[in-house]
Amino acid sequence: MLLPPLLTLSDIHLTFGGTPLLEGAELAIGARERLSLVGRNGSGKSTLLKIAAGLIEADHGERVVQHGVSVSYLPQEPDLSAYPNVLTYVESAFAEHDDPHRARALLNHLGLSGDETPKSLSGGEARRAALARVLAPGPDILLLDEPTNHLDLPAIEWLEDELKRLRSAIVIISHDRRFLTNLATATVWLDRGGTRRLDQGFDAFEGWRDDVLAQEELERHKLDRKIVMEEHWIRYGVSGRRKRNVRRVAELANLRRERRETRRALGTVEMVATDAALSSKLLMEAKALAKSYGDRPIVRDVDLTILRGDRVGIVGPNGAGKTTLLKLLTGELAPDGGTLKLGTNLDIVTLDQKREALDVTGTLVQNLTRGDSDQVMVGGKPRHVIGYMKDFLFTPEQANTPVGVLSGGERGRLMLARALSRPSNVLVLDEPTNDLDLETLDLLQEMLADYAGTVLLVSHDRDFLDRVATTIVAYEGDGRWQLYAGGYSDMVAQRGHGVKTLGEPVRTAPKAEKPRSDAPPAERQQKRKLTFKQKHALETLPSRMEKLRKEIAAGHAKLDDPSFYGRDPAGYEKASAALHKAEAELAMAENEWLELEILKEEIAND
């Protein structure tokens, strides 16, 4: 016998500012169910969750909660101002028989002591306190709006395990695919004001959604063909018989109204990065790089080589120094020790996690054009800013909207629009997935796959790291960072575990034993040496590369003359061919020099 749902929303309608947001949405939450609530940014997911929590009243529809069922809601922006400290805030959710020790335990897992005052908290710390508050009483229903925001990888994995152990029914809004895949047993899709339910986990959702949209397009195509046939009859059949069939004319009007009222799925973001000129093959080479703050080492003796086209993911707990490492590698921050060699012709564009580059008092257009122009340069060509806005799902009506009133997802799209319009051959992405919906994340991942330059990425999104990164740099504790080939899952396989919390001992994969120095000569490998030819190449290649770079710069300057081709077409072709030859020779020389440098280092470490 099926038990009735603990909470039901039926035929929910809600309109904001004259625009319908929810039109007949439904939600049923059964005992111990774990639902993922998915949909585009702005589709009304958070609003529907607030209606389920009883915080917002719908214009029309019914909310039914079984008698005695407790509901806890995690907001995106919690308010702790009425409480003296974090512990008091968490304990305010307790009922009479709840375990008072659970509050401290949860706060410790989330990196808080409980003694913090609301004014001293960052936005991320306030959200972690709110997460402890909703988990502590063990409610019958948990409504979680982006619970992984501002959590690092150890906290996300801890939260997964905690939610799996709970007996509560759970509804989760999240952009973290791996989190939803590991938890959800059913999926509710909020789309164009209505909801559809799939009684399978999130891993089955995207294929099902695509099938639904394809069927809609097929039905729409059939409707369009039927309208064409009816219009043909009206134009030619009526004049042929000199008599109007009123019923068929009315049917045509109904068909046109049906097509007009059908809400199509929202468009997708048009995301293309603007490429700059090609960088050198060797992009960044760090040797014994070191940086400390006070007595605490953030980066200690890091050796790292990054080549053109690499996709490097940097992972570690909050506070490990991921952003500091990024700034060291790009030359933005000076190291305390060691050396950093940067390649030539680098055009670096950074997307920072705090969205600080945005002027929140300026309009959307002013932030895109960096002034009062109505044009934005994309790929070296001017585009009207309204058209470029539409590529990122902004409407023309939003052109003069202050950035300060945009949602987190809209700010994320705006930052991407700004960053991708600038020519670059190095993209530095610090938590780019924050507040982006799943479809936009898909398109960002596809864009990065096609990007000709190099990507440096800091993220706590395990699925995104697996899709994008070809190399992982992981925090090993005490300022040490280790390089692993592949994505996040590959790192876990090599390392034997994921990211640990700050201060927790990290087990590294055992290294192969080197031959003992006291072993018999037959057991030792003969020590390698560079050949005379290799030594000579190492000495002469740098001057050769510098000469080629000067030739290339001169060739570009010559070809940039707009009158050159008209004046001397043959000379233009000859200069162009010489430039291509020099660029190819430089790439080969850089590659040879790099291979020899790596070999030299390996021999030195034997």
Strand 194-198 with 381-384, pairing: unpaired
How many CB atoms neighbour CB 86 within 10 A?
Answer: 28
Return the pLDDT at 593. 75
Where does the pLDDT of residue 494 fall: very low under 50, low under 70, confident under 90, or very high at 90 and above? confident
Euclidean distance between the first and final Cα of the chain, in Å? 70
Which among 439, 402, 414, 420 has a CA at the least distance from the CA of 355?
A: 414
Q: Which two tokens stand for residue 85?
A: 């400290």
Q: Annotate 11-38 with b (16+ C-beta within 10 A) or e (fewer).
A: ebebeeeeeebbbebbbbbbeebbbbbb
pLDDT in tens, 282-317: 889 999 999 998 888 999 999 999 998 899 999 998
How many CB atoms neighbour CB 475 within 10 A?
Answer: 25
Range scoring the smallest mean pLDDT among 123-137, 363-377, 515-529: 515-529
Q: Is the pLDDT of residue 49 over 80?
A: yes
Strand 7-16 with 60-65, pairing: antiparallel
Return the pLDDT at 38. 92
Return the pLDDT at 517. 42
Where does the pLDDT of residue 262 fall: very low under 50, low under 70, confident under 90, or very high at 90 and above? low
Identify whether the C-beta of residue 193 lies closer than 8 Å to the C-beta of residue 59. Answer: no
Q: What share of the chain is helix, strand, coil (3-state, %, to 5)?
A: 40, 20, 35
Return the pLDDT at 568. 83
Looking at this protein, which amino acid is placed at residue 281? K
Q: Give this prediction's pTM.
A: 0.68
**Average of per-residue pLDDT across 87-95:** 90
DSSP E strands in 71-158: the ranges are 71-74, 141-145
CA of 121: how far to CAs of 113, 118, 126, 317, 430, in Å? 12, 5, 6, 18, 22
Higher pLDDT, 171 or 373: 171
Q: Is the pLDDT of residue 195 over 80?
A: yes
DSSP E strands in 154-231: the ranges are 169-173, 186-191, 194-198
Where does the pLDDT of residue 57 fall: very low under 50, low under 70, confident under 90, or very high at 90 and above? very high
DSSP H/E element including 62: strand 60-65
Q: Which of 100-109, 418-427, 554-563, 591-600 has the highest mean pLDDT?
A: 100-109
Residue 141 burial by CB count (10 A; 0-12/13-18/19+): exposed, middle or buried? buried
Helices and strands in the chain, H and E counts: 19, 20
> In terms of residues, how long is the chain?
606
Identify whether the C-beta of residue 153 lies closer than 8 Å to the C-beta of residue 317. Answer: yes
Considering the chain, what is the average pLDDT of its residues?
81
User: Which residues touch 422 (CB under 8 Å, ≥6 apart)?
Assistant: 274, 347, 349
Alpha carbons 253 and 244: distance in angstroms, whole number: 14
Identify whether the C-beta of residue 431 lies closer than 8 Å to the C-beta of residue 460. Answer: yes
Q: Is the pLDDT of residue 383 over 60?
A: yes
**Average of per-residue pLDDT across 369-396:** 79
Return the pLDDT at 288. 92
Q: Which of 5-14, 94-103, 442-451, 464-473 has the highest mean pLDDT?
A: 5-14
Range scoring the smallest mean pLDDT among 79-93, 282-296, 535-549: 535-549
Where does the pLDDT of residue 56 fall: very low under 50, low under 70, confident under 90, or very high at 90 and above? very high
Q: Is the pLDDT of residue 575 over 70?
A: yes
Q: With both helix axes pointing from N to C terminus, report the angle between 101-109 and 123-135 in degrees, rounded to the nearest 10.
A: 140
DSSP E strands in 255-392: the ranges are 282-293, 296-307, 311-315, 337-342, 348-351, 375-378, 381-384
How many CB atoms neighbour CB 509 within 10 A?
Answer: 11
How many CB atoms neighbour CB 121 within 10 A?
Answer: 18
Q: Which two tokens stand for residue 65?
A: 């909660």
Identify whether the C-beta of residue 261 lies closer than 8 Å to the C-beta of residue 192. Answer: no
CA of 286: how far to CAs of 302, 415, 487, in Å? 7, 29, 21
Question: Which residues, listed in sequence order, are joined to residue 8 by a DSSP beta bridge?
Answer: 28, 64
